[in-house]
């Protein structure tokens, strides 16, 4: 198994959420969103060096809804609405690790459809998540990623995330 990289970022000021024309960001609205999220997960990770197994609605239930930190308002979905019909093109979830009173906010499942990468979609989703943290008084955001996902590592670094355990 390849090593996991632990990154974090201190929020020193409220983030500025960018705007992408034709894209709307909304929160999870119920079980009807699960199939679109699963499709995005498949598209987003299909070409990665570290393969991920296909998921079904039960996997989503176990990974998200069944977790004690789960809140629908902490799952952001980005939809491409430019073509008249909306299609999910990105998603990110905010998880909390630790106790409810002393939890650490963690980026959970940031995904961007391949055709939307390098167009600001990841930044849009991350700043939506960071803004929610800021509004809750949380100033440190953490995440984990695979070392082999070099594009993801570079992306997080451009946002100001750095190795959590470095000196």
Ordered by where they begin, the domains of the chain are: 4-163 (3.40.630.30)
pLDDT tens, N- to C-terminus, the chain (167 residues) = 568 999 999 999 999 999 999 999 999 999 999 999 999 999 998 887 777 889 999 999 999 999 999 999 999 999 998 867 789 999 999 999 987 667 899 999 999 999 999 999 999 999 999 999 999 999 999 999 988 889 999 999 999 999 975 44
In our burial notation (b when 16+ CB lie closer than 10 A, e otherwise), range 104-130 reads ebbbbbbbbbeebeeebbbbbbbbbbb
In angstroms, rounded to a whole number, what is the distance separating the alpha carbons of residues 47 and 19? 27
In angstroms, rounded to a whole number, what is the distance separating the alpha carbons of residues 90 and 79? 7
Provide DSSP, 127-150.
HHHHHHHHHTT--EEEEEEETT-H
pLDDT for the residue numbered 11: 97
pTM recorded for the entire structure: 0.91
Q: Which residue has the tokens 């008249």?
A: 84
pLDDT for the residue numbered 43: 93
């Amino acid at each position: 198994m390849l090593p996991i990289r632990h990154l974090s970022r201190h929020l020193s000021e409220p983030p500025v959420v960018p705007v992408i024309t034709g894209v709307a960001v909304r929160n999870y609205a119920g079980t009807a969103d699960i199939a679109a999220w699963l499709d995005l997960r498949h598209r987003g990770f299909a070409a990665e060096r570290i393969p991920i197994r296909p998921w079904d609605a039960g996997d989503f239930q176990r990974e998200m809804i069944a977790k004690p930190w789960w809140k629908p308002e902490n799952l952001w979905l980005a939809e491409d609405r430019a073509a008249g019909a909306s299609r999910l093109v990105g998603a990110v979830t905010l998880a909390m690790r630790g106790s409810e009173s002393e939890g650490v906010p963690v980026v959970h499942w940031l995904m961007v459809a391949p055709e939307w990468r390098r167009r600001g979609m990841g930044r849009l989703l991350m700043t939506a998540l960071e803004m929610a943290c800021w509004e809750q008084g949380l100033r440190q955001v953490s995440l984990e990623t695979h070392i082999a996902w070099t594009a993801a590592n570079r992306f997080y670094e451009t946002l100001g995330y750095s190795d959590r355990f470095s000196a």
